[in-house]
Structure 1
Amino acid sequence: MPPCNPDNLPLADLDWRSLLPLAGRGNAALARYDGMLQTLPNPAVLLSPITVNEAVLSSRIEGTQATLDEVLEFDAGMESADVRRGDIEEISNYRAAVQGAEDALVDRPLSLGLIRAAHQRLMQGVRGRDKEPGAFRTDQNWIGRHGDPIERARFVPPSPLVLQGALENWERFLQAEGEDPILQTAIAHAQFEILHPFKDGNGRIGRMLIPLLLYRRGALSRPMFYMSEYLEANRAEYYDRLLAITDTGDWEGWLRFFVNALIAQAESNLEKVRAIRDLYEAMRRDFVEVTHSQYAMAAVDAFFMRPVIPAPAFAQAAGFNNRVTANNMLRQLNDAGLIARVREGGGRVAAIYALPQLINITEGRRVL
């Protein structure tokens, strides 16, 4: 199979008029979600579990098996099975790469340099660290079953001889202002996956780009819209639609898939954000009623930032002057059923507590 020849951007041969009604529905769904986002008193705190779950799901598409519970427990210092440790490290890197890219967008455009920096952080010290993190490939890669030669590849990305020019064309498209934001994001994501510019980690970087580009184009007030839940649940169609672009030139089929995915994800995210907001407000009332403490509000924030948290980290995050007072509050909250103790403390082993309602909402197990 020869390397594919990527289309030049912007695309010239699409029936844009037929896509605009769907794009309009996508923009309306995204606006409803973003409107809810703007009502949150502290989005970074309230949506912290959702950002962790995005890292879990985006990494799962690439073969990791770790769950949200396992990642949160690992962050809290609970031992994980050795087989999961590598997965959790990859997920942690994804979170760090996303945060670094979001911070960089404050004073930098969405560029090839920013993408390379995100990739370098993504691959640091994990599987793929020997595949030139932060550098675009200079040799041919291909996608297929493990061990298959290029002749049996399912997809062969562009030759390295044309890759740099295609990336520069892609970067110019990223920075264009005339396209519909959602259609532009859909095309940019697909083209990145087609170019497959890194030796590893392309899928995760490509999905990371989705909220960054929507934010840069003003479709989001914060880069906090994640689609991996839908894409992971519909993985086969996701890959098939991407392959159809290079196999048959079916950009329209991809765009319709992507926008419908965005609409479905926006509706799901809206319900989750609403449920998280309602839980936050309820917990603020309940923590005060149970503890009558000046630290009650900060205690709620501590659990929303880290839904599974060791007692010492809770004390520090909530601003307690001493651990005894913090531990007394944790006991009160646990006895009232507002939080759950997931590990007993003793000696040098810290007790660990969780906010199960928040984890359930994040994973979609139960929306209040």
Structure 2
Amino acid sequence: MGEYVERQWDPEDAGGLGRKDRVPGRYLAYVPDELGDGLPALGAEAQGAAEDALAVLARADERIGPRGSFLNHLLIRSESISSSWIEGNRVSPKRLAIAELLHQGPRQALDVVANVRATEAAIAGLADRERAITTSDIVDLQHVIEPRLERGLRQEQNWVGGPGWSPLRAAFVPPPESEVPRLVADLARFATGTSGNPVVRAAIVHAQFETIHPFIDGNGRTGRTLIHTVLRRADALRNALIPISTVFAGDTDSYIAGLTDYRADPPKVDEWVIGFAQAAERAAGNAVRLAQDIAALDADVRDELVLFRRDRGLSPAVPRRDAVVLRILDTLASDPVLTAESVSTRLGVSPAASHRALTELAEAGILGRARERGRLLCWTADRHLALVALTERSNRVGGGDTKDRRPRLGPARPDRSQFGAGRPPRPSRQDAPGL
């Protein structure tokens, strides 16, 4: 159990603050206990929920299989979009993918691109169980997400929520800045561990990180990225990234209530672990469905290409296995936005060959063309990107069918006409016309 410490609020520069926020006063900042080494003792219900979630994650990882390495970038996009929607940063899958490739676009999209890269960095680097996680690693992770901020732990008091700009009116006040270094060092040691149920460890790491709130900005996205680090380090997931934040984004009230439970007196750790485990199970189902939909779509676009080539009298109608057009199709899940230059670099072919292949796929209706002021910017695999949008909308109604329940927030409903001759996503993922 943590403790509250009393602090004084005296705004140094109150010129831009409202009347209520200019008022000095005393407030309480919450200092959590250190985590130590072992997992907390849980009740039977929470332990059972964590064990069930671990089994579901393992089955999902097995069903997705080695193909998960090709789908992970798409899943990371889904995770990052939802993670950012939690914080009010609303961006579409297509806008994100274009900003990622071209390194340009609206601030919101570029922020989510940073989240994508941080998640990939966490999986590639911090997930190595042969090395310990350090405070410096966590600082580096946050700096990738928020490169505009000075690197390092916060040197001032921060707070979360509330109607104004004052800790006196905040929904939650994290520990004083003087406590942050030791608490982050303790968190890093705990996140390094791999014993016990990794779902429980991931749940505790995330809640503790959000409670410490060790940075001025980027705490939510960094904390959600650490979930993947813990699950991968413990070998709970080998192939796929399971986008748990997509479920958190669907019910932010429950998410915030769960974090509040974790900080209660006494802490309601069981309630938080149960909620986290349920989110993990729903996210696993989402990831499996997305993988299945992508596999079906990949098969459809191959058939469409063959039909197009046959109708045009191109020979051979079925391209050779090493043909550039087929090599592009094989990677649309991970690279749904392309330029001739990006394809040339990635596949090791000439820009001219890349341009011919992309043009053929566009003429076949498989790729779209994104333009700005009449100038071609890139080619886009709109149906692959639409599947991410449908997943996001489904998450916002509890992971179910959006045919009868319209999501309150989330990416716009994809245009069903863009699915062309290929079959659209299965009914359990579709939106009804007009939603």
TM-score range, shorter chain: 0.7 to 0.9
1:66 pairs with 2:119: no
Partner residue in 2 for 1:336: 364
- Matched residues in 2 for 1:190 and 1:66: separation? 25
Higher relative contact order (CA 8 A, sep 6+): 1
Count of aligned pairs: 353
CA offsets, 1:186-242, max 9 Å, x none? Answer: 011101111111121111100001111100011011462221211111111101211
Query: Kindly tell me: are residues 138 and 222 of structure 1, through their superposed partners in 2, closer, same or farther at Cα, counting changes over 3 Å?
Result: farther
Higher Cα Rg, which structure: 2
Q: What is the deviation of 1:183?
A: 0.8
Matches within 5 A, 1:21-36: 21-36=48-63
Moved more, 55-64 or 67-76: 67-76
Are 2:340 and 2:351, in contact at CA under 8 Å, matched by a contact in 1?
no
Query: Kindly tell me: are residues 171 and 206 of structure 1, through their superposed partners in 2, closer, same or farther at Cα, counting changes over 3 Å?
Result: same
- Matched residues in 1 for 2:229 and 2:219: separation? 16
- Matched residues in 2 for 1:91 and 1:184: separation? 26
- Matched residues in 1 for 2:182 and 2:349: separation? 56
Matches within 5 A, 1:1-368: 1-9=27-35, 14-40=41-67, 43-75=68-100, 77=102, 80=105, 85-105=106-126, 106=128, 108-125=131-148, 129=149, 132-133=150-151, 135-145=152-162, 147-222=164-239, 224-248=241-265, 249-284=267-302, 286-287=304-305, 290=309, 292-293=319-320, 294-323=323-352, 325-343=353-371, 349-350=375-376, 352-364=378-390, 367-368=425-426
Q: SS of 1:215's equivalent? A: helix
- Mind listing any 5+ residue stretches in structure 2 that lack a counterpart? 1-26, 310-316, 391-413, 415-423, 427-435
Are 1:26 and 1:262, in contact at CA under 8 Å, matched by a contact in 2?
yes
- Matched residues in 1 for 2:39 and 2:193: separation? 15
Amino acid at match of 1:26: A
Are 1:76 and 1:352, in contact at CA under 8 Å, matched by a contact in 2?
no
Are 2:167 and 2:173, in contact at CA under 8 Å, matched by a contact in 1?
yes
CA offsets, 1:146-176, max 9 Å, x none? Answer: 6432221211112233333322332222223
- Mind listing any 5+ residue stretches in structure 1 that lack a counterpart? none
- Matched residues in 1 for 2:224 and 2:103: separation? 29
CA offsets, 1:269-303, max 9 Å, x none? Answer: 11111222333344456546646252233121353
- Matched residues in 2 for 1:344 and 1:114: separation? 39
Superposed CA RMSD? 2.8
Q: SS of 1:171's equivalent? A: helix
Percent identity for Structure 1 against Structure 2: 24
Between Structure 1 and Structure 2, the one with more helix by share is 1
